[in-house]
């Protein structure tokens, strides 16, 4: 029997099942655990990553604190939730795991011994585990918990990419490491319907290919991919042809097969094997070792291959569906260089990318799947369903004052206009300012509510920020934020880019004027801001522009290396004191480093956070 359509099935469900109440989405147990809450109208009320609460980067634990936050934001208990949706299907994942071992046996014993105990003890009973955790969290007996449902991994990605988009119809492309079987998938979104068109399956994965090279270059898998992307412009794509000849068999339609003789991720404990290393003539770079021209060339080569694959895939879905609007989801959609290439290719009139495109965003996708696909609720297209990603916990000004007084922190309470004028002056004078306001961002990018802001005109600012504030590798570039109305004057872009998802060229006459945000190839990962999106940040940019003539600032996430982005005022204060930041602004409070008492914690952060 063919599967029924979402709407048709509603009539077969019990009244409890179709109650379009609150829907809680959860992603957990792989990386980037998160929770998201959607109300009865399909509005996203709250979404947060567990790492922001647990202070462990890419935390994979059950997102208890994130769930608690989402429920508290809506002022409801778990009993008010009508459906809980988990973001993938664990048993299908287990099937993939077993089939992989069978296909590659007798190799894979070590991986089998490492993976199986976790599956036997926990993951095979994930439904029971989740219900137990939810029961403990809420105090509700397990038998009376709301129903727990499961979406496919790529279904969650596709839902997160399409439903919050401003499109009634669009083709959706999801590209990531792996979920159950799918590694990349194409969908057709129309209203509330999301039709799966086709998929490519494990082990042939663009995400895993990129991660394999990430590990080879000495960065962490699922964490260091963006470092490799930042390293790429320093090199030449001298290995791209060899990669396409030997490691990846790429078809015209963008689908591809990996030559698994060179990779170890299917059954090994590492991503690449000795054959891979001898193919490139070098063993993997050890973390923290010097980066040489070879590593830069490798990074550039795999980035070139990734861009080519993404371009061909986009061209294929464009030809097959005839759609002129594209939504992107999955971890590979965070590759802002490839996104920028797609934008400039002109294949699509509009491109919308889920700001939390990785697995954290899947919690949101799962909840939206519940609303539109399980409950069949109507969808109204809105321009800003994501609320500019400001979906996380807020900093409460009065509470912050109390906390700061308890910590003996010295601060001034200021009027907004005066505060903005002074901060613009500080930045123009070369100060580094921590900038906290309102609700935290959901997703990996700081978009002006949990940001560190600095002067992009100073050539030494990149080094200063990297070495004194962020404590990270010197090659890594910083992103600019610009007022939307002047973005096209300074950058080669004719679309708004509110979520910092596109790397675009800087116009030639501005490259020298903005050295701290100009990458080695004259590009930048741009965020545009308008007054409705973030009025205070927009006002600050204008105030800075009045002094300098440039409505552009450096905008980097408020954290140190290996630390999740700060969520609360206390975390921000600790980060402020542990680094060489000059000023901290929390809503209307201004703190100057020179006014503060000696930091009680000194440089304890070095032990607290493991380098990423």
Partner 1 sequence: MGANIRTGLRAFKARLQYGLRKTARILHVTNTLVMLTLVWFLVMVPTGLLMQLFRQTRLDRRGNPRCAVNRHWRGHPIGPDEMKRPF
CB of 131 to partner 1, least distance (A): 12
What does the DSSP 8-state code read for residue 520?
Answer: T
Q: Does 440 engage in binding with partner 1 (CB under 8 A)?
A: no
For tokens 């609150």, the residue is: 22
Minimal distance, residue 88 CB to partner 1, in Å: 9
User: Closest separation between CB of residue 104 and partner 1, Å?
Assistant: 5
Q: How far is CA 245 from the centre of its chain?
A: 31
Cβ 73 to partner 1, closest distance in Å? Answer: 25
Q: Do 207 and 223 meet the contact criterion of CB atoms below 8 Å apart?
A: no
Q: How far is CA 511 from CA 312, 458, 490, 508, 553, in A?
A: 31, 12, 9, 5, 14
Q: How many angstroms separate the Cα of 429 from the Cα of each of 109, 126, 169, 184? A: 60, 55, 48, 47
Q: Which tokens in the block code for residue 589?
A: 């409070």
Residue 248 gets the label, from left (phi > 0), alpha (psi -120 to 50) or beta, of beta
Of 120-179, binders to partner 1 (CB under 8 A) are: 120, 126-127, 147, 149-152, 155
Spatial distance between the Cα atoms of 298 and 302, rounded to a whole number of angstroms: 6
322: contact with partner 1 by CB under 8 A:
no
102 binds partner 1 (CB under 8 A): yes
Q: Which stretch binds partner 1 (CB under 8 A): 104-112, 224-232, 528-536, 566-574?
A: 104-112
Under rule CB under 8 A, which residues in 356-385 are in contact with partner 1? 369-370, 373-376
Cβ 329 vs Cβ 354: under 8 Å:
yes
- Structural tokens at position 193: 């319907």
95-127 exposure pattern, b = at least 16 Cβ within 10 A, e = fewer: ebbeebbeeeeeebeebbeebbeebeeebeebe
Whose Cβ is closer to partner 1: residue 95's or residue 606's?
A: 95
Per CB under 8 A, 6 contacts partner 1: yes
Choosing from 100, 222, 556, 571, the residue that interacts with partner 1 (CB under 8 A) is 100
DSSP state of 506: B
Task: Output the CA torsion 274→276→280→281 (10° steps).
Answer: 10
Instruction: Name the residue nearer to partner 1 (CB basis): 255 or 596.
Output: 255
Structure tokens of 88? 């993938």
In whole angstroms, how close is the CB of 89 to partner 1 at the nearest point? 5
Stretch that binds partner 1, among 109-117, 437-445, 499-507, 523-531 (CB under 8 A): 109-117
For position 203 contacting partner 1 by CB under 8 A, the verdict is yes
From 27-35, 97-105, 163-171, 519-527, give the range in contact with partner 1 by CB under 8 A: 97-105
Taking CA 611 as the corner, what is the angle to CA 607 and CA 612, rounded to the nearest 5 degrees? 150
Taking the complex as a whole, the smallest distance from the CB of residue 203 to partner 1 amounts, in Å, to 6
Confirm if 562 and 463 have CB atoms less than 8 A apart. Answer: no
Nearest to partner 1 of 313, 565 (CB atom): 313
Helices (H) and strands (E) in the chain, counts: 23, 23
CB of 333 to partner 1, least distance (A): 19
Angle at 526 between CA 533 and CA 546, to 5 degrees: 70
Applying CB under 8 A, among 132, 201, 507, 513 the residue interacting with partner 1 is: 201
As a whole number of angstroms, the distance between CA 355 and CA 336 comes to: 11
Residue of the chain from 31, 52, 89, 538 that contacts partner 1 (CB under 8 A)? 89
Q: Quick check: 101 binds partner 1 (CB under 8 A)? A: yes
CB of 120 to partner 1, least distance (A): 8
Q: Is there binding between residue 558 and partner 1 (CB under 8 A)? A: no
> Residue 173 class from Cβ within 10 Å (0-12 exposed, 13-18 middle, 19+ buried)?
buried
Residue 260 binding partner 1, by CB under 8 A: yes
Residue 433 engages partner 1 in binding (rule: CB under 8 A): no
Q: How far is the CB of 10 from partner 1 (least distance, A)?
A: 8
- Burial bucket for residue 166 (CB in 10 Å: 0-12, 13-18, 19+): middle
The mark string for 12-31 relative to partner 1 (x by CB under 8 A, - otherwise) is -x------------------
Residue 4 as a binder of partner 1 (CB under 8 A): the answer is: yes
Rank residues 101 and 491 by Cβ distance to partner 1 and give the closer one: 101
Least distance (Å) from partner 1 to the CB of residue 62? 16
Residues 454-513 that bind partner 1 (CB under 8 A): none
DSSP label at 467?
I
Quote the longest CA-to-CA distance of the chain.
72
Residue 244 in the binding site for partner 1 (CB under 8 A): no
User: Which positions touch partner 1 (CB under 8 A)?
Assistant: 2-6, 9-10, 13, 85-86, 89-92, 95, 99-106, 109, 112-113, 116-117, 120, 126-127, 147, 149-152, 155, 193-204, 249, 251, 253, 255-261, 266, 369-370, 373-376
């Amino acid at each position: 029997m063919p599967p029924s359509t979402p709407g048709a099935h509603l009539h077969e469900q019990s009244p409890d099942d179709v109650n379009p109440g609150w829907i809680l989405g959860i992603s957990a147990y792989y990386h980037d655990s998160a929770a998201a809450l959607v109300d009865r109208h399909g509005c996203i009320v709250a979404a947060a990553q567990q790492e922001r609460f647990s202070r462990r980067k890419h935390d994979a634990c059950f997102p208890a604190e994130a769930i608690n936050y989402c429920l508290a934001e809506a002022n409801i208990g778990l009993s008010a939730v009508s459906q809980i949706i988990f973001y993938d299907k664990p048993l299908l994942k287990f099937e993939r795991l077993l089939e992989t071992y069978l296909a590659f046996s007798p190799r894979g014993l070590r991986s089998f011994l490492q993976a199986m105990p976790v599956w036997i003890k926990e993951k095979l009973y994930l439904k029971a585990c989740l219900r137990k955790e939810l029961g403990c969290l809420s105090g509700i007996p397990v038998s009376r918990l709301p129903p727990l449902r499961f979406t496919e991994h790529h279904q969650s990605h596709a839902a997160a990419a399409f439903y919050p988009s401003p499109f009634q119809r669009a083709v959706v492309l999801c590209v990531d490491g792996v979920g159950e079987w799918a590694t990349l998938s194409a969908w057709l979104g129309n209203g509330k319907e999301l039709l799966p068109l086709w998929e490519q399956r494990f082990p042939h994965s663009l995400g895993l290919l990129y991660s394999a090279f990430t590990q080879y270059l000495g960065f962490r898998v699922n964490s260091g991919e963006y470092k490799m992307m930042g390293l790429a412009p320093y090199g030449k794509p001298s290995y791209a042809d060899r990669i396409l000849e030997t490691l990846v068999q790429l078809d015209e339609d963008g689908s591809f097969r990996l030559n698994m003789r060179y990779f170890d991720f299917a059954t090994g404990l590492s991503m690449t094997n000795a054959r891979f290393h001898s193919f490139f003539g070098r063993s993997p770079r050890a973390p923290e070792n010097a980066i040489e021209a070879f590593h830069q060339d490798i990074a550039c080569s795999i980035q070139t291959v990734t861009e080519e694959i993404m371009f061909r895939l986009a061209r294929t879905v464009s030809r097959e569906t005839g759609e002129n609007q594209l939504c992107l989801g999955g971890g590979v959609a965070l590759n802002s260089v490839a996104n920028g290439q797609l934008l400039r290719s002109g294949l699509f009139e509009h491109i919308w990318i889920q700001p939390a495109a990785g697995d954290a965003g899947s919690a949101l996708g799962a909840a939206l799947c519940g609303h539109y696909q399980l409950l069949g609720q109507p969808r109204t297209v809105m321009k800003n369903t994501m609320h500019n990603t400001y979906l996380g916990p807020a900093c409460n000004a009065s509470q912050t004052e109390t906390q700061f007084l308890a910590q003996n922190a010295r601060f001034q309470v200021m009027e907004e206009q005066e505060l903005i004028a002074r901060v613009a002056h500080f930045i123009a004078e070369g100060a580094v300012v921590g900038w906290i306001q309102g609700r935290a961002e959901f997703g990996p990018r700081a978009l002006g509510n949990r940001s560190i802001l600095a002067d992009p005109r100073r050539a030494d600012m990149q080094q200063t920020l990297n070495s004194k504030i962020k404590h990270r590798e010197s090659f890594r570039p910083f992103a600019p934020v610009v007022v939307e109305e002047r973005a096209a004057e300074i950058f080669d872009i004719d679309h708004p880019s509110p979520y910092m998802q596109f790397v675009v060229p800087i116009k030639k006459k501005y490259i020298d004027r903005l050295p701290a945000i100009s990458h080695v190839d004259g590009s930048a990962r741009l965020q545009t801001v308008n007054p409705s999106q973030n009025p205070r940040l927009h006002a600050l940019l204008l105030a800075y522009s009045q002094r300098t003539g440039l409505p552009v600032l450096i905008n980097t996430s408020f954290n140190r290396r290996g630390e999740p982005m700060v969520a609360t005022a206390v975390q921000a204060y600790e980060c402020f004191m542990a680094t060489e930041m000059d000023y901290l602004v929390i809503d209307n409070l201004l703190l100057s480093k020179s006014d503060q008492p000696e930091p009680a914690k000194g440089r304890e952060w070095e032990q607290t956070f493991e380098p990423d």
